[in-house]
């Protein structure tokens, strides 16, 4: 390709991709499939590699271009970043309306907006290109987090249509509730303390030093304010509409209200509807719409006079703390859980609440018998947020965090800089053993789906499986006839599990099949602390076999891409235990893959997180070969089409019902040649 054509094509691709990003992330209305999008992006990446001189600063390939920052630069805000005065009642809103009416003789119109619960950000665009993103800081100056903000896909790197040469728009970076729950479950799985709420998760994420890490966090951003009359419109609402035309993400839920009665109905409507949003809001913001009037009213030292926040009462109830249980998880982390007098809260009966860790207990100074306030945050499990001190019993005493494991008696440890207490008896403490067994068989690890929590419990209780190597020594006669009845829970039904012929055959088959699982998944399945899926892949592709990992020195480990001190330490400690070496020997004898296969040597993670369904017959490949190719490139195979399917590889004679379902769910059907294109990097 000659230089001119390359430049033209790069420009054209940047435009196209930006348009598709806007359709997908901002309008939630994509016009092409993910596959087609990926193809455009790949083409752009390869052209930029061949013609770096034409790579543009606003290219969609450089969302994660910035280098890690040790300390963020401080930037003085051009317009101070003020906050809003808060109000909590209808009376206060009416007082605000009266104050406003005294400040002008002209009729007033309000705009009501959701009050997003995240962290405020100011975005500067110069000639339509995002050049700076600054946090609120103290309102006068904030941190330059531009490289991190560029990773948020709903923030355009370049604007559409017409825009001023330079202007700043402000908004809120937040985390979706789905994303927050996912992130917390991954963190707990890896032994990291979970974030207390989506706001903390969002602000923690935006302050991370490495944009690559930030890119993995489910952050979003709504824009809601243009300071200093920088746009053409004479109303706030008009400004937002202009910003929307430029491709900026504006909430659909803002409404113009002609009077304070309309404002009150907006507030009451959202007090109920907010529970159906996929993000948290903590109130409503009411703004005078006319910018001339806003200017007349001006600001106090801290807040604009022309706006006010109405804060929702958090759904909070009071109940009695009856006792605290201490639960031990797979990693040995001990979580205190409060047992409460059952109470209704936001549509459910709450009996338990998480207390997270010892610091939270001592900061709250919560005591048995206290009347505690319970709130629902982003988490499914509610939390204790305060105590009614007036009702505290005279003889109550502070809760003492346990010093020994409630399950096996081992003294607990607490590492510097970590919030959780741990039981270190990882190989003999029952919930840790069961947790490890469950992790081992889980879908992303050995994928033995004929076993599950209940069956594992039976095997453990019958002393048949005490560690992961025991699975591979199970015999038909050990299993047949085993029975267990689980007591009735809330549903009122007992559950009976019994191992009949078919069940036993399936279990043994599942275990046998797991011997084909690739080395990286086996390493992940071992349940070494901090060795998640990605770390396992890094280690296996670097060291090739288990003995090399076992013999690696600390410095060698930390030299591997993405392996830090904490992980290296954890790996060394694990392999230093003679019991673990024995475990590895037994797994090796059983025939598990403890080294990279010849053909997995050239494995990639191109298809990571992508789920495929293969349907029909093919010319070039057998179905098994396709499956293998998918796995070798980090993708997943499933048998049936669901909303989680990313692609269907469709051959001849694909069933009509499958085809219909695919079309209905909008899942792309690709040929085997399209698939080949996908895995060519
Ligand atoms: S307007 C000069 N609109 O709430 C006023 N703020 O204390 C600029 N917030 O710091 C703010 N949703 O972080 C505005 N729709 C919205 C908002 C909003 C959330 C945050 C913002 C601000 C705080 C108010």
Q: Report pLDDT digits (tens) over 234-279.
A: 999 999 999 999 999 999 999 999 999 999 999 999 988 988 899 9
Cα 177 to ligand 1 centre (Å): 20
Does ligand 1 lie within 6 Å of residue 224's CB atom?
yes
Cα 115 to ligand 1 centre (Å): 6
- The one catalytic residue in 115, 521, 537, 636 is 115
Average pLDDT rounded to a whole number, residues 644-652: 89
CA-nearest residue, atom 6 of ligand 1: 115
With a CB cutoff of 8 Å and minimum separation 6, the contacts of 587 are 468, 469, 472, 522, 594
Residue 320 has pLDDT above 90, yes or no: yes
Does ligand 1 lie within 6 Å of residue 307's CB atom?
yes
Nearest to 406 by CA among 456, 466, 333: 333
Distance between CA atoms of residues 351 and 524, nearest Å? 35
Cα 680 to ligand 1 centre (Å): 46
Is the Cα dihedral 424, 427, 431, 437 positive or negative?
A: positive
Average pLDDT rounded to a whole number, residues 293-301: 90
Q: Are 118 and 154 in contact (CB under 8 A)?
A: no
Q: How far is CA 608 from CA 527, 533, 604, in A?
A: 20, 11, 9
Neighbours of 325 (CB within 10 A): 12
Distance between CA atoms of residues 495 and 454, nearest Å? 10
The best mutation among 139, 225, 249, 250 to test binding of ligand 1, ranked by most ligand atoms within 8 Å of the C-beta, falls on 225
Does ligand 1 lie within 6 Å of residue 239's CB atom?
no
Counting from 1 in the atom list of ligand 1, the atom nearest the Cα of 309 is 24
CA-nearest residue, atom 23 of ligand 1: 83
Q: Are 156 and 128 in contact (CB under 8 A)?
A: no
Residue 467 has pLDDT above 60, yes or no: yes
Residue 141 forms beta bridges with which residues?
Answer: 76
pLDDT of residue 505: 95
pLDDT tens profile 156-175: 999 988 999 999 999 999 99
The best mutation among 222, 285, 288 to test binding of ligand 1, ranked by most ligand atoms within 8 Å of the C-beta, falls on 285
Cα 267 to ligand 1 centre (Å): 16
pLDDT of residue 65: 59
Residue 346 has pLDDT above 80, yes or no: no
Average pLDDT rounded to a whole number, residues 480-492: 73
Does ligand 1 lie within 6 Å of residue 285's CB atom?
yes
CA-nearest residue, atom 22 of ligand 1: 83
Cα 383 to ligand 1 centre (Å): 26
| Residue pointed to by tokens 């691709």 | 13
3-state secondary structure of 644: coil
Q: Are 611 and 632 in contact (CB under 8 A)?
A: no
pLDDT tens profile 1-11: 888 999 999 99
Between residues 665 and 351, the one the model is more confident about: 351
Cα 572 to ligand 1 centre (Å): 48
Backbone angles phi, psi at 50, to 5 degrees: -75, -35
Cα 238 to ligand 1 centre (Å): 18
The best mutation among 112, 116, 173 to test binding of ligand 1, ranked by most ligand atoms within 8 Å of the C-beta, falls on 116
Cα 172 to ligand 1 centre (Å): 8
The best mutation among 172, 174, 239 to test binding of ligand 1, ranked by most ligand atoms within 8 Å of the C-beta, falls on 172
Does ligand 1 lie within 6 Å of residue 163's CB atom?
no
Cα 554 to ligand 1 centre (Å): 48
Between residues 152 and 485, the one the model is more confident about: 152
Average pLDDT rounded to a whole number, residues 224-233: 85
How high does pLDDT run on average in the chain?
Answer: 89
Does ligand 1 lie within 6 Å of residue 225's CB atom?
yes
The best mutation among 78, 86, 119, 120 to test binding of ligand 1, ranked by most ligand atoms within 8 Å of the C-beta, falls on 120
CA-nearest residue, atom 3 of ligand 1: 224
pLDDT tens profile 182-205: 898 888 767 677 787 889 899 999
Average pLDDT rounded to a whole number, residues 646-661: 85
Catalytic annotation on 115? yes
Does ligand 1 lie within 6 Å of residue 270's CB atom?
no
Percent of the chain predicted with pLDDT > 90? 57
Does ligand 1 lie within 6 Å of residue 98's CB atom?
no
Backbone angles phi, psi at 378, to 5 degrees: -70, -25
Tokens matching residue 201: 């998760």
Q: What is the pTM of this model?
A: 0.60
Neighbours of 582 (CB within 10 A): 12
Counting from 1 in the atom list of ligand 1, the atom nearest the Cα of 304 is 2
What strands lie across the sheet with 669-670, from one edge to the other?
636-637, 611-615, 647-650, 669-670
68: pLDDT confidence band, cut at 50, 70 and 90?
Answer: low
pLDDT tens profile 543-599: 999 999 999 999 999 988 778 898 999 999 999 999 999 999 999 999 999 998 765
* 249 CA to centre of own chain: 20
pLDDT of residue 38: 79
Average pLDDT rounded to a whole number, residues 55-65: 77
Counting from 1 in the atom list of ligand 1, the atom nearest the Cα of 83 is 7
Helix ranges restricted to H, 546-654: 546-551, 554-559, 565-575, 578-590, 623-632
Question: Is residue 592 within a helix (H) or strand (E), and if so which, with residue range?
Answer: none
- DSSP secondary structure, 89-142, as one string: SHHHHHHHHHHHHHH-SS---EEEEEEE-SEEEEEEEETTEEEEEEE-TTSSEE
- Lowest pLDDT segment from 258-262, 345-349, 528-532: 345-349
Percent of the chain predicted with pLDDT > 70? 95
pLDDT of residue 488: 62
| Residue pointed to by tokens 């937002």 | 240
- Pick from 223-232, 376-385, 515-524 the range whose average pLDDT is largest: 515-524
Tokens matching residue 503: 């069940």
Residue 117 has pLDDT above 70, yes or no: yes
Does ligand 1 lie within 6 Å of residue 223's CB atom?
no
101: pLDDT confidence band, cut at 50, 70 and 90?
Answer: very high
Residue 492 has pLDDT above 70, yes or no: no
Tokens matching residue 132: 């700076």
């Amino acid at each position: 390709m000659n230089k001119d054509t390359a430049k033209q094509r790069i420009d054209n691709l940047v435009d196209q991709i930006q348009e598709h990003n806007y359709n997908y992330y901002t309008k939630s209305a994509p016009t092409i499939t993910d596959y087609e999008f990926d193809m455009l992006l790949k083409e752009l990446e390869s052209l930029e590699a061949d013609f770096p001189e034409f790579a543009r600063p606003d290219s969609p390939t450089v969302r994660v271009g910035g280098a890690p920052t040790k300390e963020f630069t401080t930037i003085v805000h051009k317009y101070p970043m003020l906050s809003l005065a808060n109000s909590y009642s209808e009376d206060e809103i009416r007082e605000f309306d009266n104050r406003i009416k005294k400040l002008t003789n002209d009729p007033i119109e309000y705009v009501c907006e959701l009050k997003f619960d995240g962290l405020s950000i100011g975005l500067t665009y110069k000639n339509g290109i995002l050049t700076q993103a600054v946090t609120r800081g103290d309102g006068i100056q904030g941190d330059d987090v531009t490289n991190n903000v560029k990773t948020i896909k709903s923030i355009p790197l370049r604007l559409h249509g017409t825009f001023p040469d330079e202007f700043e728009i402000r908004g809120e970076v937040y985390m979706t509730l789905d994303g927050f729950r996912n992130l917390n479950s991954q963190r707990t799985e890896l032994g990291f303390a979970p974030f207390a709420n989506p706001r903390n998760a969002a602000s923690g994420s935006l302050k991370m030093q490495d944009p690559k890490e930030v890119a993995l966090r489910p952050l979003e951003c709504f824009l809601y304010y243009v300071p200093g009359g920088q746009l053409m419109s004479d109303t706030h609402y008009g400004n937002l509409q202009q910003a929307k035309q430029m491709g900026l993400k504006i909430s659909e839920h803002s409404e113009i209200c002609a009077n304070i009665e309309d404002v009150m109905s907006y507030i009451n409507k959202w007090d109920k509807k907010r529970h159906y949003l996929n993000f948290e809001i903590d109130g409503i913001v009411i703004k005078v719409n006319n910018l001339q009037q806003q200017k007349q009213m001006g600001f106090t030292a801290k807040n604009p006079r022309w706006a006010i926040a109405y804060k929702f009462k958090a759904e909070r109830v009071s109940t009695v703390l009856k006792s605290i249980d201490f639960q031990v998880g797979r990693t040995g982390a001990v979580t205190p859980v409060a047992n409460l007098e059952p109470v209704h809260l936001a549509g459910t009966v709450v009996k338990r609440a998480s207390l997270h860790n010892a610091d939270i207990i001592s900061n709250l100074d919560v005591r048995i018998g206290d009347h505690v306030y319970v709130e629902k945050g982003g988490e499914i499990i509610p939390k204790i947020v305060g105590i009614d001190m007036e009702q505290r019993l005279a003889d109550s005493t502070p809760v003492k965090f346990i010093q020994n494991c409630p399950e096996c008696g081992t003294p607990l440890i607490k590492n510097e800089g970590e919030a959780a207490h741990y039981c270190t008896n990882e190989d003999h403490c029952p919930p840790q053993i069961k947790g490890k067994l469950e992790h081992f068989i889980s879908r992303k690890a050995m994928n033995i789906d004929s076993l599950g929590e209940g069956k594992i419990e039976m095997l453990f209780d019958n002393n048949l499986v005490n560690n992961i190597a025991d699975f591979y020594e199970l015999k038909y006669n050990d299993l047949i006839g085993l029975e267990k009845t689980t007591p009735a829970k809330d549903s009122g039904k007992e559950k009976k599990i019994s191992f009949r012929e078919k069940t036993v055959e399936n279990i043994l088959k599942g275990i046998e099949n797991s011997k084909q699982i690739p080395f990286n998944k086996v390493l992940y399945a071992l349940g070494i602390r901090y060795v998640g899926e990605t770390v396992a892949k890094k280690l296996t592709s670097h060291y090739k076999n288990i003995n090399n990992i076992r013999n690696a020195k600390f410095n060698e480990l930390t030299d591997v891409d993405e392996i830090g001190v904490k992980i290296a330490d954890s790996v060394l400690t694990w392999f230093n235990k003679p019991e673990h070496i024995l475990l590895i020997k037994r797994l090796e004898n059983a025939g598990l893959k403890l080294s990279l296969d010849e053909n997995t040597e050239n494995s990639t993670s191109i298809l990571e997180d992508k789920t495929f369904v293969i349907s029909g017959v093919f010319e070039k490949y057998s179905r098994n070969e396709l499956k293998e190719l998918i796995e070798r490139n980090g993708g997943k195979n499933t048998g049936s089409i669901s909303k989680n399917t990313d692609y269907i590889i469709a051959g001849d004679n694909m069933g009509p019902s499958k085809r219909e379902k695919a079309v209905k769910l909008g899942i792309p059907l690709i040929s085997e040649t399209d698939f080949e294109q996908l895995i060519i990097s």
